[in-house]
Structure 1
Amino acid sequence: MFEIYLILVTCFLLPICFLITNNLIYIYHHLKFVKQIEEKTNMMKIDNKHILYIAKIYINRKKWLDCITILEFHMKQVKINELIILVQYYNYIGSCYQSVNIYKIATKYYLKAYNKAPCIKQTLKNLANIYKLSGDIESTSKINDQLIGLNTNEDI
C-alpha cells in the first residue's frame, strides 16, 4: 500500500518539478542575456533589437512600468531611418497600457504607430482591438476594412 502511495505522489510531483525547472531555465537565460548586454555595452547605447528583446522580457513578466520606462527612454535615441523600430516601440508601449486597462493612452500610442507606418498589420490589429475594447464600433470597422484591404493586396 505504501508503494502505491509513493508512485501516486511521484506521478503528481514529477510534472510540477518539470514545469518549475523549465521556468527556472527560462528566467536564467533571460537574466544571462541581460547581463551580457550590460557587460558588452554602455546602457545608453544598447542596440534596438536588444531593447525590444528586453521589452518582451518585461512584458512576459508583467512588469509594465519597467517596459514603458525603458522604451520611452530609448525611443529618443532611435534614428529617423529606423521607422519600423519606432513603430514597434509604440506598439509595445500601447500593449503595456492596454494590459493595465488604460485604453485612452494605449490608443494614443497605437495611433502614433499608425501615423508613422499605416500599413503594418500588427498596428492595425492593435488599433482594432483597442477600439473594440473601448466600444468604438465605427472605428473598429474602419480599421478592419483597412486590414482586409491589406490582406487582399498581399494575395494579388
Structure 2
Amino acid sequence: MFEIYLILVTCFLLPICFLITNNLIYIYHQLKSLKQIEETANLMNIDNKHILYIAQIYINRKKWLDCITILEFYRKQIKINELIILVQYYNYIGLCYQSINIYKIATKYYLKAYDKAPFIKQTLKNLANIYKLSGDTDNASKIYDQLTNLSKDKDI
C-alpha cells in the first residue's frame, strides 16, 4: 500500500518539478542575456535584436514602464533602412500602453506602426483590437476587413 502511495505522489510531483525546472532555466537564460548586454562596452550601439529581446522580457514580467523607456530611447537611434524593427518597437510600445489601459496613446503608436508598414498582420491585429477595446467598432471593422483582404491576397 505504501508503494502505491509513493508512486501516486511521484506521478503528481514530477510534472510540477518539470515545470519549475523549465521556468528556472528560462529565467536563468534571461538573466544571462541581460548580463551580457549590460557588459557591452558601448550601450548606445546595442543590436536591435537584443533590444527587442529585452522588451519581450519586460513585457513577460509586466514591467511596462521599463519596456516603454528602453524602446523610446533606442527608437530614436534606428536607421532609416530598419523599418521592420521600428514597426516592432511601435507595436511593443502600443502593447505596453494597452496593457495599462491607456488606449489613446496605444492607438497612436499602433497607427505609427501602421503608417510605416500597413501590410503587417500583427500591426493590423493590434490596431483592430485597440479600436475594439476603445469602443470604435467602425474603425475596428474596417481594419478587420483589411486584414481579411490581406489574408485572401496571400492565399492567391
Q: Deviation of residue 145 (structure 1)?
A: 1.6
Deviation of the 1:11 alpha carbon: 2.5
Query: In the alignment, which residue of structure 2 is the partner of 1:100?
Result: 100
Normalization by structure 2: what TM-score? Answer: 0.91
SS for the counterpart of 1:29 is helix
Q: Distance in 2 between matches of 1:118 and 1:82?
A: 15
1:24 and 2:24 correspond: yes
* Counterpart Cα distance in 2 of 1:37 and 1:124: 32
Please report how far the alpha carbon of residue 108 of structure 1 lies from its aligned counterpart in structure 2 after TM superposition: 1.0
Q: CA deviation at 1:12?
A: 2.2
The residue identity in structure 2 corresponding to 1:80 is I
Aligned equivalents of 1:120 and 1:4: distance in 2? Answer: 55
Partner of 1:10, secondary structure, is helix
Deviations 1:39-82 (A, max 9, x none): 24422210111101111111112211111111011111111121
Cα displacement (A) at 1:99: 1.5
Match of 2:74 in 1: 74
- Pairwise CA RMSD of aligned residues? 1.5
CA distance in 2, matches of 1:41, 1:82: 23
Secondary structure at 1:81's aligned position in 2? coil
Displacement after TM superposition at 1:136 (Å): 1.0
The Cα shift of 1:152 comes to: 2.4
User: 1:80-120 deviations in whole A, cap 9, x for unaligned?
Assistant: 12111111100001111112222111111101111122121
Q: What's the % identity of the aligned pairs?
A: 83
Matches within 5 A, 1:10-89: 10-89=10-89
C-alpha separation in 1, matches of 2:144 and 2:11: 48
> TM-score, normalising length from structure 1?
0.91
Deviations 1:12-58 (A, max 9, x none): 22221111111000010111112222224422210111101111111
2:139 counterpart residue number: 139
The alpha carbon displacement at 1:133 in A equals 1.2
Q: Secondary structure at the match of 1:80?
A: coil
